[in-house]
């Protein structure tokens, strides 16, 4: 996972690489300047001498060795030592923009999932389903069997909205905490990786 900061929406995304991102990055890497388009220029060396060298006008890279000086060389343009740095910085920016684009897509996908999930948790359908689960458990926690059940927990998110009752368990608060402690963010349930499975805001409120 790569940590990506989306400044404009003040969000940190833990991006997991996707085939779309890999394909776009691959295609972008092919666009690096390799067929250099060169011109001769005068390069001032560190001891103040002058070399006649070839510089790529696209990426700024210096190619080949110096050639013998010829009459008229004094009219050649000066070598631009910052051009290659600028090109490399630009490439880095492009690379980062691709990453951010795909991190944003991943984030949007995840947050819309949670929006729908939260809407569902506020619905009458969910209230009905919870009642059935509490009824099955006789009001007791199905984790410890000792305490009163307070929450209905999803064992899987596969059928959110049309769960089988055996996919839901009635639990007490401490069993519910334990269930969510076991969910390390990296070990996926079906939710995307940047989600916070143990954030109580996303859970089944009473």
The distance of Cα 9 from the centroid of its chain, to the nearest Å, equals 14
Q: Helix, strand, or coil here: 53?
A: strand
If one asks whether residue 59 binds Zn ion (CB under 5 A), the answer comes out as yes
Q: Nearest Cα to 1, choosing from 175, 192, 189?
A: 192
> Which listed range, 2-10, 46-54, 74-82, 134-142, lies at the site for Zn ion (CB under 5 A)?
134-142
The DSSP 8-state label assigned to residue 169 in this structure reads: E
Among 1, 144, 155, 165, binds Zn ion (CB under 5 A): 144
If one asks whether residue 56 binds Zn ion (CB under 5 A), the answer comes out as yes
If one asks whether residue 149 binds Zn ion (CB under 5 A), the answer comes out as no
Q: How far is CA 154 from CA 57, 68, 85, in A?
A: 60, 77, 53
> Which listed range, 32-40, 113-121, 123-131, 161-169, lies at the site for Zn ion (CB under 5 A)?
32-40
Q: Which is nearer to Zn ion, 50 or 58 (CB)?
A: 58
Total chain residues near Zn ion (CB under 5 A): 14
Among 4, 62, 169, 175, binds Zn ion (CB under 5 A): 175
| Helix runs in the chain, H state only | 19-29, 83-121, 124-137, 173-181
Are 62 and 48 in contact, with CB atoms under 8 Å apart?
Answer: no
Binding interface with Zn ion (CB under 5 A): 33, 36, 56, 58-59, 61, 141, 143-144, 147, 153, 172, 175, 203
């Amino acid at each position: 996972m790569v940590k990506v900061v989306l400044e404009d929406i003040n969000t940190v995304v833990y991006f997991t690489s996707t085939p779309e991102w890999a394909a776009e990055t691959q295609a972008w890497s092919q666009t690096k300047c390799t067929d250099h388009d060169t011109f001769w220029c005068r390069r001032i060396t560190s001891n103040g001498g002058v070399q006649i060298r070839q510089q790529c006008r696209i990426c700024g890279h210096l190619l080949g060795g110096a050639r013998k000086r010829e009459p008229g060389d004094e009219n050649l343009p000066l070598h631009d030592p910052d051009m290659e740095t600028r090109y490399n910085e630009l490439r880095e920016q492009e690379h980062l923009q691709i990453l951010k684009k795909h991190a944003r897509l991943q984030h949007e996908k995840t947050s819309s999932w949670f929006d729908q999930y939260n809407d569902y948790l506020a619905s009458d359908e969910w209230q009905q389903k919870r009642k059935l689960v509490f009824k099955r458990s006789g009001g007791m926690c199905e984790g410890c069997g000792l305490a009163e059940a307070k929450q209905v927990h999803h064992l899987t998110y596969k059928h959110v909205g049309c769960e089988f009752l055996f996919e839901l368990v009635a639990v007490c608060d401490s069993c519910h905490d334990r269930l969510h402690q076991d969910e390390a963010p990296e070990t996926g349930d079906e939710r995307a990786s940047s989600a916070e499975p143990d954030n109580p805001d996303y859970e089944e409120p009473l």
